[in-house]
């Protein structure tokens, strides 16, 4: 980290209690044999104090936002934003994007020319730059570790990249993704290469880069095994049925460099996990209170890819018995469950038309994959009002907004209040890898963040003698520091008071206020609890729901 004036910064650090006068003396002695090293850098190298506090303090003193950047904090592919040469030469690392803003870390924020150059580069990509500062040693260490990971990935690439037959190459890409627990494979033609990325635990990871000259062969092989038209270059859908344990859905889309393929890997015999293993808060009693209510509907809300269907399967598994007729309407059927009547939407059917038919099949419980329109919502509500129990999903940001969304679709306040029993919302956060997570104390800033959240929502979090963990990365977790995901939940049970507010056409703000009084807690509260028990950490929670 670039610091122009040694003595004032040293004095300021002593005043703040970050270091002692003895630490400063040691750093000055170090500088005598390393004349190009700044005082803050020397303190960091010597490990004289808490390095995270040191980074934050030096950042404040020189007018920036100090951060002790770690490899696991880099949530993007640096080379997509700046060249590796520029990163190394200028000691700069773009490391995260949130809400149209890109966080970029520099070793020298006094170099205004470099900062302005990077700012313009980010602006050209439609991103506003947020500037952070750290030590040069940290920048070098992060770049080296990221390069090491890239070399490991490259060694895997070489296995499938040495003139192998195309049939074997594609098979190896798919089997490699299966071994890594990937949910999707992205095969993307770029300007000078074909990039292979896998979505693992919700994150895209580059696993291979193939020569551009093999692109046409790759496309031809994928179309052949997924039963697509070879000649057509417009969007197509297909399936790969060559693997006993997997049903692979394939989608193609033309782009400026060729045709991109996305393969969704669906296990045919995937085990349904217990809902409490998924992270559902509470116990059997609270779960029974929220689900399996006759004459009602339960809705699970979340954005795409946040585990709504998995939660529904877990609930259905709890309710499944020979005495109950359960029918599901899905697009597509992702897991086949013994004892259920599962219907898959196709080109000739819709959720609403299938639901009308199902109601004539004497069902007890109906799972509707998604409420997308007014017609489906109205039929689902009618089913809930005539003795059935209906479960479905909807795209909204939280449980309270389920009510707003149903209103916007066109469902009356009366139907919502009389039929909607429970609204749930969830997000998936990555679990810390048990093999490499590193324990540490919470910083004062982190403790304050947790305390503020508790005060805001009427929760008391005990922070005495509680540790947190940093993600590190190892072979077990593909060097990400995380392994698998867990849900964070919020549950809104519609009490008589809330139903009355709905009938009065109260706003979501009024409903939220009353719900909090009655015990409803938003996602962040369950998230903090999972941070405190060591399942995940604040960085991962913030990545999903922005807590600071």
Most confident of 121-130, 340-349, 410-419, 477-486: 410-419
Q: What is the pLDDT of residue 548?
A: 67
Q: What is the mean pLDDT of residues 503-527?
A: 95
CA distance linking residue 334 with residue 344, whole number of Å: 9
Q: Tell whether the model's pLDDT for residue 2 goes beyond 80.
A: no
Nearest in space to 9 (alpha carbons), one of 26, 22, 24, 29: 24
160-267 — its CATH code?
3.30.450.90
Q: What is the pLDDT of residue 8?
A: 67
Q: Which of the four pLDDT bands, split at 50, 70 and 90, describes residue 153?
A: very low
Q: Tell whether the model's pLDDT for residue 165 goes beyond 90.
A: no
Q: Which of the four pLDDT bands, split at 50, 70 and 90, describes residue 3?
A: very low
What pLDDT, in 10s, does the model give residues 8-42? 688 888 888 888 888 888 888 888 888 788 888 88
6-142 — its CATH code?
3.30.300.160
Percentage of residues in the chain having pLDDT higher than 90: 48
Secondary structure letter of residue 530 according to DSSP = H
Q: What separation in angstroms does the CA of 43 have from each of 25, 91, 93?
A: 10, 19, 22
Q: What is the pLDDT of residue 461?
A: 93
Q: Which of the four pLDDT bands, split at 50, 70 and 90, describes residue 220?
A: very high
Q: Which of the four pLDDT bands, split at 50, 70 and 90, describes residue 363?
A: very high
Three-state SS string over 317-364 comes to HHHCCCCCCEEEEECCCCCCCCCCEEEECCCCCCHHHHHHHHCCCCCC
DSSP 396-449: -SSSHHHHHHHHHHT--HHHHHHHEEEEEEEEEEEEEPTTT-EEEEPPHHHHHH
Q: Which of the four pLDDT bands, split at 50, 70 and 90, describes residue 378?
A: very high
Q: Tell whether the model's pLDDT for residue 230 goes beyond 70.
A: yes
SS3 168: helix
Q: What is the pLDDT of residue 224?
A: 93
Q: Tell whether the model's pLDDT for residue 322 goes beyond 60.
A: yes
What pLDDT, in 10s, does the model give residues 168-195? 889 999 998 998 899 999 999 999 889 9
The domain limits of the chain are: 6-142, 160-267, 284-427+485-526
Q: What is the pLDDT of residue 163?
A: 53
Any idea how long the chain is?
A: 548
Q: What is the mean pLDDT of residues 443-449?
A: 90
Q: What is the mean pLDDT of residues 497-526?
A: 96
Do 83 and 72 meet the contact criterion of CB atoms below 8 Å apart? Answer: no
For residues 417 and 156, the model is more confident at: 417
Q: Which of the four pLDDT bands, split at 50, 70 and 90, describes residue 80?
A: confident
Q: What is the pLDDT of residue 535?
A: 96
Q: What separation in angstroms does the CA of 299 have from each of 50, 184, 246?
A: 47, 26, 29
Q: Which of the four pLDDT bands, split at 50, 70 and 90, describes residue 250?
A: very high
What pLDDT, in 10s, does the model give residues 398-441? 999 999 999 999 999 999 999 999 999 999 999 999 999 989 99
Q: What is the pLDDT of residue 272?
A: 83
Average pLDDT score over the chain? 87
- What CATH class does 284-427+485-526 carry? alpha beta
What pLDDT, in 10s, does the model give residues 35-59? 788 888 888 888 878 888 888 888 8
């Amino acid at each position: 980290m670039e610091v122009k004036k040694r003595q004032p910064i040293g004095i300021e650090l002593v005043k703040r209690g970050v270091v002692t006068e003895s630490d400063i003396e040691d750093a000055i002695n170090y500088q005598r044999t390393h004349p190009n090293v700044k005082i803050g850098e020397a303190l960091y190298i010597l490990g004289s104090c808490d390095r995270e506090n040191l980074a934050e303090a030096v950042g404040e003193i020189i007018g920036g936002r100090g951060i002790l950047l770690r490899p696991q904090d880099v949530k993007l592919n640096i080379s997509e934003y700046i060249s590796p040469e520029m990163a190394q030469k200028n000691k700069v690392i773009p490391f995260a994007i949130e809400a149209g803003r890109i966080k970029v870390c520099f070793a020298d924020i006094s170099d205004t020319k470099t900062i302005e150059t990077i700012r313009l580069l980010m602006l050209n990509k439609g991103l506003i730059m947020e500037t952070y500062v750290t030590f040069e040693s940290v920048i070098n260490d992060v770049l080296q570790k990221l390069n090491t990971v890239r070399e490991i990935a490259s060694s895997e690439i070489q296995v499938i990249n040495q003139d192998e037959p195309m049939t074997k190459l594609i098979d190896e890409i798919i089997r490699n993704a299966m071994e890594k627990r990937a949910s999707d494979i992205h095969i993307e033609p770029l300007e000078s290469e074909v990039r292979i990325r896998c979505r693992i635990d919700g994150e895209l990871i580059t696993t291979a880069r193939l020569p551009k000259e093999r692109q046409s062969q790759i496309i031809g092989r994928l179309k052949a095994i997924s039963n697509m038209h070879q000649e057509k270059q417009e969007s197509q859908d297909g399936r790969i049925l060559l693997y006993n344990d997997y049903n692979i859905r394939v989608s193609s889309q033309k782009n400026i460099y060729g045709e991109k393929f996305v393969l969704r890997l669906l296990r045919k015999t995937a085990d349904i996990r217990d809902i409490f293993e998924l992270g559902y808060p509470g116990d059997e009693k609270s779960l029974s209170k929220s689900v399996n209510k006759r004459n009602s509907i339960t809705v699970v809300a979340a954005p795409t890819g946040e585990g709504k269907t998995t939660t529904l399967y877990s609930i259905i598994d709890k309710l499944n018995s020979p005495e109950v007729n359960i029918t599901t309407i899905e697009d597509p059927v992702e897991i086949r469950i013994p004892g259920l009547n599962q219907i898959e939407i196709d080109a000739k059917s819709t959720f609403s038309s299938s639901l009308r038919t199902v109601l004539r099949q004497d069902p007890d419980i109906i799972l509707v994959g998604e409420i997308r329109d007014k017609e489906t919502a109205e039929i689902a509500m009618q089913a809930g009002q005539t003795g059935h129990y209906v479960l479905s999903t909807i795209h909204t940001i939280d449980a309270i907004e389920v009510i707003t969304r149903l209103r916007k679709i066109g469902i009356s306040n009366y139907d919502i209040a009389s039929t909607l029993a429970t609204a749930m919302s969830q997000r998936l956060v990555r679990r810390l890898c048990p093999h490499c997570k590193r324990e540490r104390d919470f910083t004062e800033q982190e403790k304050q963040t947790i305390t503020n959240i508790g005060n805001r929502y009427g929760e008391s979090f005990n922070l005495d003698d509680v540790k947190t963990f940093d993600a590190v990365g190892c072979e077990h977790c593909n060097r990400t520091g995380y392994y698998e995901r867990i849900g964070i939940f919020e549950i809104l049970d519609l009490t008589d008071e809330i139903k009355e507010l709905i009938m009065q056409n109260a706003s979501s703000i009024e409903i939220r206020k009353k719900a909090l009084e009655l015990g409803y807690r938003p996602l962040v509260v369950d998230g903090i609890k999972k941070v405190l028990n060591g399942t995940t950490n604040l960085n991962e929670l913030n990545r999903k729901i922005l807590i600071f």
